[in-house]
């Protein structure tokens, strides 16, 4: 097993034609210079995904998906970057199977913690089947969790008496590592088990490596019914989608993913033979979790609990998913229960029926929002109608817009025609992601900073001049882009966009570079004069933001001497700006 060099990856990328590779997955049509396909990364009906053979990249103008050949294979196959490289390599006759190493193997420290978690999982499983675990196992079986589900989810039992910590230390693991993995806690000189007297459910990453546990109390007097692993080097709350690795193959088959709140919800669905299910481990879903869910599939079904807290969280999660261009549906439990209670009360078939009769996001929104507005108050009714109208307007399908306008009419008592005239005003046929005609630079990055990054992308000389004369950019994303470009020129004479995207391994930087490459003002050719002007503009901007800050500071002050001091600083900064504008360099 070995690591691939950047050069090997670049060679494979340049041997594989992106059009040929994508055509193995999607039918392509030619339009103008580009190839087009129906985008597989959102609910697309017209071809929105363009493939540039010149640039060897693809981009969807609706959902924003894009990248090079590796990004495409990675996202459509839902595999790791390295697996995608190996797959593309095979397609062009290069065998690099020996480069496939488990991710954890790269970091020895994480490997040790992972090993401790694996030992603990086995220990907990053993304890569940030992005599002390009999009552617990009986409890699980009575709750409908069969032996095969216990095995599948690696459910275990951590008895009292701090036996797990003793076991790990006896096996030769330093106590500090058991503490770092959050299996063991230190009280003075004593080591105790974090999950003592609890049923433990291991939590894994997308590749199936263990990260930590969620654990249910066995004793009735325990204050917290559930506790999770605290933040460790492996476990970061808010980054994890529980059951991702087991659910992914099922999601590929069913073509949607159900999101629930917790481990017992996921297990409840497995009892009903519904296996395309994951959990956010709580209701405070994060953008990172949304990104991971979307990576699984663009079609997402929210299955949060039927109680008020669950429905409120579903409302919030749905909004995040819609903004991320997902197609969202909701499970309508109709009772204030969680999936585990529902299956225990109404049976497996009932839960399957709920999945089959899931409702569109817009239906959920119309119903849920009724709890936010008092419709017998005229103003609130009007607000409700306008808010719902704005949502209906965003729907892509004409029939959907008509259908939900009818529903809104029947709920509110307004006439369909009146509502339709609001809903059908200025409807855009498709919601465009970063429209190409928009000349506004992305996010907080100024036009001058975009110009600098763009000039550096097309000219090594520009990059060297930037490095020697300015060396920084105020916008963090543009600055990171500049650093990556300079770094790339250390081993390359020119920048190839598709290869630069490989090196941008963080999604925000990746998207910024992709966006910049399509910037309507992207220079046609290298121009050192434009670079110099842009660098001057960046310097002026720095002084101007300083002046703004000084003025704010001054407004807070009473002391006349200090005010005068700041006034002098402002004059100095203004002098620098004047000099820069005249074309002189500052000292
Ligand atoms: Zn798309």
User: What's the mean pLDDT when you consider all of the chain?
Assistant: 90
| Distance, CA of 562 to chain centre | 48
Ligand 1 center from residue 392 Cα (angstroms): 20
Q: What is the mean pLDDT of the segment spanning 343-363?
A: 96
> What was the pLDDT predicted at 404?
96
Ligand 1 center from residue 323 Cα (angstroms): 13
Give per-residue pLDDT as tens, 559-575. 889 999 999 999 999 99
Q: Residue 431 — very low, low, confident or very high, per pLDDT cuts 50/70/90?
A: very low
Give per-residue pLDDT as tens, 461-509. 999 999 999 999 988 889 999 999 999 999 899 999 999 999 997 888 8
Euclidean distance between CA atoms 208 and 153, whole angstroms: 11
Ligand 1 center from residue 397 Cα (angstroms): 16
Say yes or no to pLDDT of 454 above 60. Answer: yes
Ligand 1 center from residue 100 Cα (angstroms): 30
Better pLDDT: 392 or 97: 392
Give per-residue pLDDT as tens, 239-254. 999 999 999 999 999 9
C-alpha neighbours within 13 Å on the C-beta side of residue 568 = 6
Ligand 1 center from residue 518 Cα (angstroms): 16
Ligand 1 center from residue 234 Cα (angstroms): 32
Ligand 1 center from residue 48 Cα (angstroms): 6
Q: Residue 523 — very low, low, confident or very high, per pLDDT cuts 50/70/90?
A: very high
Ligand 1 center from residue 76 Cα (angstroms): 12
Q: Residue 394 — very low, low, confident or very high, per pLDDT cuts 50/70/90?
A: confident
Whole-number percent of the chain with pLDDT over 70: 95
Ligand 1 center from residue 480 Cα (angstroms): 26
> What was the pLDDT predicted at 253?
93
> What was the pLDDT predicted at 586?
46
> What was the pLDDT predicted at 441?
61
Through-space distance between the first and last CA atoms of the chain, rounded to whole angstroms: 54
Ligand 1 center from residue 39 Cα (angstroms): 5
Ligand 1 center from residue 560 Cα (angstroms): 59
Alpha helix positions (H), 48-182:
69-77, 81-91, 108-129, 134-142, 147-152, 163-170, 175-180
Ligand 1 center from residue 201 Cα (angstroms): 36
Euclidean distance between CA atoms 155 and 441, whole angstroms: 51
Ligand 1 center from residue 59 Cα (angstroms): 8
Q: What CATH superfamily classification does 6-99 receive?
A: Zinc finger, CHC2-typedomain (3.90.580.10)
Please say whether the beta carbons of 211 and 235 come within 8 A: yes
Ligand 1 center from residue 35 Cα (angstroms): 15
| Distance, CA of 254 to chain centre | 21
ipTM beyond cut 0.90: yes
Q: Which long-range contacts (CB under 8 A, 24 or more apart) does 347-351 make?
A: 348/271, 348/272, 348/273, 349/272, 351/268, 351/269, 351/272, 351/274
Q: What is the mean pLDDT of the segment spanning 7-16?
A: 92
Say yes or no to pLDDT of 192 above 60. Answer: yes
Q: Residue 198 — very low, low, confident or very high, per pLDDT cuts 50/70/90?
A: very high
Give per-residue pLDDT as tens, 49-72. 999 999 999 999 888 899 999 999
Q: Residue 437 — very low, low, confident or very high, per pLDDT cuts 50/70/90?
A: very low
Euclidean distance between CA atoms 514 and 65, whole angstroms: 10
Euclidean distance between CA atoms 567 and 572, whole angstroms: 9
> What was the pLDDT predicted at 507?
82
Q: Which CATH number fits domain 105-228: 3.30.70.100, 3.90.980.10, 3.30.300.100, 3.30.479.30?
A: 3.90.980.10
Q: What is the mean pLDDT of the segment spanning 438-443?
A: 56
Task: Please provide residue 228's backbone torsions phi and psi, each rounded to the nearest 5 degrees.
Answer: -115, 165
Say yes or no to pLDDT of 533 above 70. Answer: yes
Q: What is the mean pLDDT of the segment spanning 105-122?
A: 88
Q: What is the mean pLDDT of the segment spanning 19-47?
A: 91
CB atoms within 10 A of CB 368: 15
Instruction: Give, as residue ranges, everything with CB less than 5 Å from ion ligand 1.
Output: 39, 41-42, 60, 62-63, 65
Ligand 1 center from residue 325 Cα (angstroms): 8
Ligand 1 center from residue 455 Cα (angstroms): 29
Could you tell me the fold of the domain covering 447-582? DNAb Helicase; Chain A (1.10.860)
- Structural domain boundaries in the chain: 6-99, 105-228, 244-367, 373-423, 447-582
The class (CATH top level) of 244-367 is alpha beta
Closest CA to 273 of 250, 244, 245: 250
> What was the pLDDT predicted at 587?
45
Give per-residue pLDDT as tens, 77-110. 888 888 899 999 998 888 887 776 554 455 788 8
Say yes or no to pLDDT of 425 above 90. Answer: no
Euclidean distance between CA atoms 250 and 481, whole angstroms: 38
Ligand 1 center from residue 456 Cα (angstroms): 29
Better pLDDT: 45 or 208: 208
> What was the pLDDT predicted at 101?
56
Ligand 1 center from residue 403 Cα (angstroms): 25
Ligand 1 center from residue 405 Cα (angstroms): 26
> What was the pLDDT predicted at 427?
66
Q: What is the mean pLDDT of the segment spanning 319-337?
A: 93
Ligand 1 center from residue 15 Cα (angstroms): 26
Same fold, 105-228 and 447-582: no
Whole-number percent of the chain with pLDDT over 90: 72
Phi/psi-derived region of residue 580, left when phi > 0, alpha when psi is between -120 and 50, beta in every other case: alpha
């Amino acid at each position: 097993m070995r690591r691939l060099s950047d050069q090997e990856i670049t060679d494979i990328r340049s041997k594989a034609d992106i059009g040929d590779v994508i055509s193995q997955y999607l039918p392509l049509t030619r339009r103008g210079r580009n190839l087009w396909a129906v985008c597989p990364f959102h609910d697309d009906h017209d071809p929105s995904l363009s493939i540039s053979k010149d640039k060897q990249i693809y981009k969807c103008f609706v959902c924003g998906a894009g990248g090079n050949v590796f990004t495409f294979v990675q996202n459509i196959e839902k595999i790791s970057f390295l697996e995608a490289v190996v797959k593309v390599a095979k397609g062009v006759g290069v065998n690099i199977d020996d480069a496939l190493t488990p991710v954890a193997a790269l970091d020895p420290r994480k490997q040790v913690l992972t090993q401790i978690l694996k030992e603990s999982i086995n220990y907990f499983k053993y304890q569940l089947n030992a005599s002390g675990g009999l009552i617990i196992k009986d409890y699980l079986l009575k709750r409908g969790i069969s032996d095969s589900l216990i095995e599948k989810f690696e459910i275990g039992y951590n008895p009292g008496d701090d036996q797990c910590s003793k076991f790990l230390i006896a096996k030769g693991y330093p106590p500090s590592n058991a503490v770092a993995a959050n299996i063991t806690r230190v009280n003075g000189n004593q080591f105790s088990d974090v999950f003592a007297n609890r049923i433990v459910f291991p939590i894994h990453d997308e590749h199936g490596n263990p990260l930590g546990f969620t654990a249910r109390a066995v004793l009735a007097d325990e204050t917290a019914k559930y506790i999770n692993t605290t933040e460790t080097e492996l476990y970061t709350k808010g980054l994890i989608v529980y059951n991702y690795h087991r659910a992914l193959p099922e999601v590929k088959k069913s073509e949607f993913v159900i999101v629930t709140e917790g481990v017992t919800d996921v297990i409840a669905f497995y009892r009903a033979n519904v296996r395309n299910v994951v959990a956010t481990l709580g209701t405070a879903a994060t953008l990172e979790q949304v990104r991971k869910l979307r990576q699984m599939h663009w079609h997402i079904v929210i299955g949060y609990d039927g109680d008020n807290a669950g429905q409120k969280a579903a409302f919030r999660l749905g909004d995040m998913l819609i903004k991320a261009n997902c197609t969202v549906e909701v499970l309508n439990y109709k009772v204030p229960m969680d999936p585990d209670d529902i299956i225990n009360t109404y049976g497996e078939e009932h839960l399957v029926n709920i999945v089959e009769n899931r409702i569109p996001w817009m239906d959920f929104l119309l119903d849920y929002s009724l709890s936010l507005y008092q419709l017998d108050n005229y103003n609130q009714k009007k607000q409700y109608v306008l808010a719902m109208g704005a949502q209906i307007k965003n729907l892509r399908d004409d029939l959907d817009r008509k259908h939900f306008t009818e529903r809104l009419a029947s709920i509110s008592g307004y006439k369909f025609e009146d509502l339709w005239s609001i809903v059908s005003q200025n409807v855009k046929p498709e919601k465009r992601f970063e429209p190409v005609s928009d000349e506004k630079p992305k996010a907080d990055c100024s036009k001058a900073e975009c110009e600098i990054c763009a000039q550096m992308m097309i000219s090594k000389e520009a990059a060297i001049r930037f490095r020697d004369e300015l060396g920084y950019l105020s916008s963090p994303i543009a600055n990171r882009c500049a650093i990556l470009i300079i770094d790339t020129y250390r081993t390359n004479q020119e920048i190839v966009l598709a290869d630069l995207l490989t090196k941008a391994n963080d999604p925000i930087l990746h998207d910024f570079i992709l966006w910049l490459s399509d910037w309507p003002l992207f220079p046609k050719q290298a121009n050192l004069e434009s670079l110099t002007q842009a660098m001057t503009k960046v310097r002026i901007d720095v002084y101007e933001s300083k002046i703004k800050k000084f003025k704010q500071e001054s407004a807070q002050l009473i002391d006349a001497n200090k005010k005068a001091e700041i006034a002098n600083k402002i004059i100095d900064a203004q002098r620098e700006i004047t000099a820069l504008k005249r074309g002189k360099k500052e000292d």
